[in-house]
Amino acid sequence: MESAVIYGKNAVIEALEAGEREFNKILISQTSRADVKIERIKELAREQGIIFQFVAVQKLNQLVPDGRHQGVIAQISPVRYMDLEDFIQNIGGNIVILDGVEDSHNVGAIIRTAVCAGIRGIILPSRRGVLINSTVEKTSAGAVNHISIIKTNSLVGAVQKLKENNYWVIASDHHAKDNYYDIDYSDMNFALIMGAEHAGISKSLLKLADFKIKIPMLTNFNSLNVSNAAAIILFESVREKVRREA
């Protein structure tokens, strides 16, 4: 099981009302009847900005066997998420945006690399891609506890907010003309966007990028793992900073 879960209608309602847990999302069976408790869960989720989605009951049975879930499972994050505005105002520094990365191991590896490279924040989408779960936490070797993790319902809105606060947005795109080492990372606050394993970065985010960069390949076998690609780019920024400060 990748995420800690709370299941059952009453348990999920109590956790939502208490406000002490960090929710990734709430899964509701497509066959659940719209009773008072289900409506209360949906109401509380909307108020708190928590994503809920309707799924096949088989999905719930995989997470909690024997039907003990009563048609409702809440997936819980092992870390607290930070608001983007709070990050900009109180922490700042370079940030990595993951656009739809779907493999927990990749997300964990990227976070581990980011912490080692001095990145201060990671932005994850609420609806598409992996949020912080136990697999991400383990793969990151605990690095999730040493970086600000920001969850957003709109990556486009998050990028626009960063640009309004003097961030330069860099998109890793294998169709780009410029190579990753053609940019002076040491003289800017940057937000690096890494795209999904197969789909890459969405067109709406590419349009907002100030720089589009690629990692040159010597063959046509263009399939660098996204976590490997992130490491190459981030440690180029480290190389430039160390060289400049030497």
The enclosing domain of 47 has a CATH number of: 3.30.1330.30
Could you give the dihedral angle defined by the CA atoms of residues 72, 76, 82 and 85, in that order, rounded to the nearest 10 degrees? -10
171-193 as b/e: b if 16+ CB within 10 A: bbbbebeeebbebebeebebbbb
Cα–Cα distances in angstroms (integers) from residue 188 to residues 25, 94, 155, 168, in the given order? 34, 9, 21, 7
Residues in the chain: 246
Q: Which residues contact 199 (CB under 8 A, 6 or more apart)?
A: 100
d(CA 80, CA 200): 27
The side-by-side arrangement of strands in the sheet containing 121-125 is 148-152, 121-125, 95-99, 190-195, 168-172, 211-214, 178-179
Query: Could you report the per-residue pLDDT of 129-138, keeping only the tens digit for each?
Result: 899 998 999 9
Cβ–Cβ < 8 Å for 242, 128: no
Sheet order of strands, 51-55 included? 4-7, 72-76, 23-29, 51-55
Token pair recorded at residue 96: 């990595």
Tell whether 67 and 105 lie within a shared domain: no
Locate 10 and state its tokens.
């009453």
Question: Within this chain, do residues 204 and 165 fall inside the same structural domain, yes or no?
Answer: yes
DSSP 63: H
| This model's pTM is above 0.85 | yes
The one-letter amino acid at 134: S
Its domain, for residue 141, covers: 84-245
Question: Are 68 and 91 in the same domain?
Answer: no
Residues 133 and 53 in one domain: no
The rounded distance, in Å, linking the Cα atoms of 65 and 139 is 26
Query: Within this chain, do residues 89 and 70 fall inside the same structural domain, yes or no?
Result: no
Claim to verify: residue 129 and residue 207 sit in the same structural domain: yes
d(CA 93, CA 101): 22
Give me the number of domains the chain comprises.
Answer: 2
What pLDDT shows up at residue 34?
74
Residue 245 CA to its chain's centroid (Å): 31
Say yes or no: 24 and 141 in one domain.
Answer: no
- Point out the least confidently predicted range of 46-60, 151-165, 228-242: 46-60
Number of other residues whose CB lies within 10 A of the CB of residue 220: 6
Q: Residue 203 above 90 pLDDT?
A: yes
Whole-angstrom distance, CA of residue 39 vs CA of residue 41:
5
76, 106, 134 - which closes a domain: 76
Residues 96-120 have a mean pLDDT of: 95
Higher pLDDT, 147 or 222: 147
- Mean pLDDT, the chain, as a whole number? 91
Predicted confidence at residue 66, as pLDDT, reads 74
In terms of domains, do 131 and 16 share one?
Answer: no
Task: Write down which residue in 53, 76, 99 finishes a domain.
Answer: 76
On the question of pLDDT at 1 being above 50, the answer is no
Q: What is the CATH number of the domain that holds 231?
A: 3.40.1280.10
Q: Are residues 134 and 217 in the same domain?
A: yes
Q: Please, are residues 129 and 100 in contact by the beta-carbon 8 Å criterion?
A: yes
- Strand 4-7 to 72-76 pairing: antiparallel
118, pLDDT greater than 50 = yes
